[in-house]
Chains A and B, each alone.
Chain A
Amino acid sequence: MVTVCHEPTRSWPALAYAPAGGHHHSIPFDPWRPLAWWLARTRSRFKPVVEALTALPLVLPPTVLGFYLLVLFSPNSTFGGFWVQVTGETLTFSFTGLVIASMIYSLPFMVQPLQSAFEAVGRAPLEAAMMLRATPLDRFFTVAVPLAKRGFLTALVLSFTHTLGEFGVVLMVGGNIPGKTKVISIAIYEHVEMINYADAHVLAAILLVFSFATLLMVYTLNRRFPSGGHG
């Protein structure tokens, strides 16, 4: 099923990841933002079901998720076949497929901070906006989103850094193709497997420093945003 390309390579895997990271974080926002909004406000009895589904990638072994995604993305499946028809490309072993898989994998990291940020905003400021003639969509963009800013930042960075370190799903769906779907975390694994500790050290250090710097930035910025609610 999965052919993992073990071709030893000196090509710089970080370059392969750069588009993945840059591309990735702007996409997952938009499908998950309405979902988080719905979860924060709904009184539906299906809320626990949706919440459980949302949290699933958190507990599921990445290989299980990767396996199902691989099956789903396969050109022989309905979805994968439809994708090939529409775009002319397969989702498996492609960068696009990797992005979609990452989005699903990082779903809880995106939705949960957003949901709690929206919950923290509460009804009060939205009622105030209602009484200032703001329509529902207007209220969402001018009151809920800005007041949930902290949650957005957390969601963005958590899912981004989480995706940076993902392994199983990427390996299953992306196939570790150099220059295309090869990511740092897998490259480190390869280096270690081949007892090439020097290169593993370099990449591991890059990830360490980068992750720390990102988190530091989030926590610093967090102090400058209102924590939701109203004044």
Chain B
Amino acid sequence: MLLIDINIKYQNFTLQTCHTILASGVTALFGRSGSGKSTLLRVIAGLEGCAKGRVVWGDEVWQDDSHFTPPHKRGLGFVFQDSRLFAHLTVAGNLAYADKRARDLPGANLDEIVDALDLGPLMARHPATLSGGEQSRCAIGRALLTRPRMLLMDEPLAALDANRKAEILPYLERLRDRIGTPILYVSHNMAEVTRLANHLMLIDAGRITHSGPLSALLADPAAAPALGPQEAGAVITATLTAHEPDGLARLQTTTAPLFLPHIEAPLGSRLRIRILAQDVIIAREAPAGLSALNILPAEISQISGDDGPAVMVQLRAGDDLILARITRRSASALGLCIGMACFAIVKSVSVAPAHIGPDHNTSHQRP
């Protein structure tokens, strides 16, 4: 458990937070650019000397009024946005730099890391000759070789284009599942966050506004404004049961089947699927003559609206929670109220491939 009780004032920005972070699984710190998420990560690492407050890891005080543990003694790994590989060393040299300074500590060994990140073919190369994605992989491997007690990742994929991102995400998922190091992952990309994290913290204007298990928080209509209307959307888990001949994938949820565009995964895989609130339609009766394939029987569990023309409706479909963003006018025309039985309709093609990823931490998926 990591406790951060911190207050930093910059010229036009104050980071003020008192919060605990779980030292297990993947915790995502999500916020817009300039919300203070990277600064918070640097405070935890000890890289922001001017921060005032307390940072405590378990029973070790890293920072208070009279004491400051320097970064190299905190036992944390850090993956910077700009990989920061050492230009004067090869990939092997960069990895050895970390490995040499953490040899006696428990954790993954060099071969495991090289294998998990496919670094073998890159070992003799210099950082300047690597692609952005390759640099990211090396930087992640190097950080893990310090056998960190927690790995801090500051938007490690932000500098990469969509294709490179898609190339790295599976590696991160593999690491999350193979190497049990807790990860604190800073990002402003919700698709990345939903694929990797099982715990979510939302940060806005220097303050942590919401925190909780990923699926519960994403399905919480109250947290939706913090994510922005475009990003709000719940995550459900489903099992891939068939690759249909027409190119669709059939997934089993706890209620009805879902049909989504082809998914590159073996049958039987447990998958996380993020369904954006704006892509969900609510019907009071089972619709007929509708092109949408995905019609999930559900029950309305929450309705929340702000002053705007839209309301956020939370639906319980079996064990899963789904968010729908509909107009206030529709909500009153349908007479929606809590406890009402209805149907959630999701258009198959609206679920982007980036919003689907394997799920291995089902224990964290409980709403």
Contact = CB atoms under 8 A, between A and B. Distances in A.
B87 A231 contact: yes
A86 B263 CA distance: 82
Given A132-B146, A135-B72, A149 B45 contact: no
A226 B84 contact: no
B135 interface: yes
A81 interface: no
Nearest to A131: B78
Contact of B142 (A127, A132, A134, A143): A132
Contacts of A124: 80, 82, 84
A16 to B, nearest CB: 39
A128 B146 contact: no
A131 B86 contact: no
A138 B128 CA distance: 23
Nearest to A148: B88
Given A127-B47, A131-B71, A226 B88 contact: yes
A172 to B, nearest CB: 42
Q: How large is the interface on B (under 10, 10 to 19, 20 to 34, 35 or more residues)?
A: 20 to 34
Most buried by A among B78, B102, B130: B78
Contacts of B97: 129, 132, 134, 142
B72 A231 contact: no
B226 interface: no
A143 B85 CA distance: 11
Nearest to A142: B97
A223 interface: no
Given A131-B72, A132-B142, A230-B127, A125 B86 contact: yes
B98 A132 contact: yes
A19 to B, nearest CB: 33
B88 A149 contact: yes
A146 B84 contact: no
A143 B86 contact: yes
A69 B77 CA distance: 52
A229 interface: yes
A131 B87 contact: no
A128 B102 contact: no
A231 B135 contact: yes
Contact of A128 (B70, B73, B80): B80
8 contacts: A124-B84, A125-B84, A128-B86, A129-B86, A131-B71, A133-B101, A146-B88, A147-B86
Given A133-B72, A133-B73, A142-B97, 6 more contacts: A130-B72, A132-B97, A133-B98, A228-B87, A230-B84, A231-B83
The 9 A-B pairs of least Cβ separation, nearest first, read: A231-B127, A131-B78, A128-B84, A231-B87, A133-B101, A130-B71, A146-B88, A226-B87, A231-B128
